[in-house]
Amino acid sequence: MRPPPDPSLLYPDVMASGSLAAVLREAAAGCLATLPDDALTPAGPLHAAVSAAVPHRAPLTVGAWAHVRRWSVRGTEPYQGMCLVDGWTHDLAEVARAARAWRDGVPLEEVRRAAPFVHLTGRFEVPDNDPVRLAASEWQHLRREAYELEYDWREPYQALIEAAHASPALRALYPFTSHWVLRFSTATRPRLALVGPCLTANSDGTYAVGTSMVASDLGLFATAGEAVACAVRHLPAGLGPVTPGE
């Protein structure tokens, strides 16, 4: 792999000023100029962080790409560390507008309106960290992620996510994926409590249900609905509402 070019070739303005934070403060007609000094902080020469004025948002991280002049952003919630917004752009002024909107605590849709390059992950904000709402947020994220996939097996994977979401028993759990295997927990992140089988959408259009991520020992099915029904049959009895994963 070709080594990245010297940062001074891609980012002469940043290197001359000493930090991305300094250049970012000047971008977009100074829309960040009025921020307190501790709200826009450097995180190395080519990275910066913009703190939010609301407690349910972690600082928005801004970074520079290594091989091409391009900027990326990522905004998370602090309780689980899950991504709410991300995206990349060639326009640092757009980054500044996104950072200002994130800082001001406007709704996520308004962050995207302020800077259209911003991508919403599907998760919604849960300021009080209610575990049932956090589970609903993760379901919304998985459904959007499945819809946006560009892989050949997008359709079977999307069918699996939708079938699982349509099941009241599974929808009541906290969903997550590992290597595109759908799994469930009775607690939110950061400390998951695994429960029930693993579900997989295969590239040949079949659906596996197993006791581990690589197994289909509970069944191999032609439809997502059959796989979900099998998974529900193997859930333990007496599961209550999702709890905080603390």
Burial of 212 (0-12, 13-18, 19+ CB in 10 A): exposed
Candidate from 65-69, 119-123, 127-131, 147-151 with smallest mean pLDDT: 147-151
Band of pLDDT at residue 44, cut at 50, 70 and 90: confident
C-alpha 193/C-alpha 49 separation (Å) is: 32
Residues β-bridged to residue 83: 76
C-alpha 180/C-alpha 161 separation (Å) is: 11
Structure tokens at 7: 């940062």
pLDDT of residue 246: 83
pLDDT of residue 215: 86
User: In terms of DSSP bridges, do strands 207-210 and 187-190 run parallel, antiparallel, or are they unpaired?
Assistant: unpaired
**32 has pLDDT over 90:** yes
Report the pLDDT averaged over residues 170-177. 98
pLDDT of residue 166: 98
Report the pLDDT averaged over residues 129-146. 98
Closest CA to 112 of 143, 82, 144, 89: 89
pLDDT of residue 142: 98
Closest CA to 137 of 128, 17, 72: 128
Band of pLDDT at residue 181, cut at 50, 70 and 90: very high
Angle at 51 between CA 13 and CA 83, to 5 degrees: 95
Angle at 226 between CA 220 and CA 232, to 5 degrees: 100
**129 has pLDDT over 90:** yes
Closest CA to 143 of 127, 129, 123: 123
DSSP state of 47: E
DSSP state of 150: -
pLDDT of residue 2: 78
Band of pLDDT at residue 28, cut at 50, 70 and 90: confident
Band of pLDDT at residue 4, cut at 50, 70 and 90: confident
Closest CA to 22 of 6, 8, 35: 35
Give this prediction's pTM: 0.94
**1 has pLDDT over 80:** no
Per-residue pLDDT tens over the stretch 206-246: 999 999 988 899 999 999 999 999 999 999 999 999 999 98
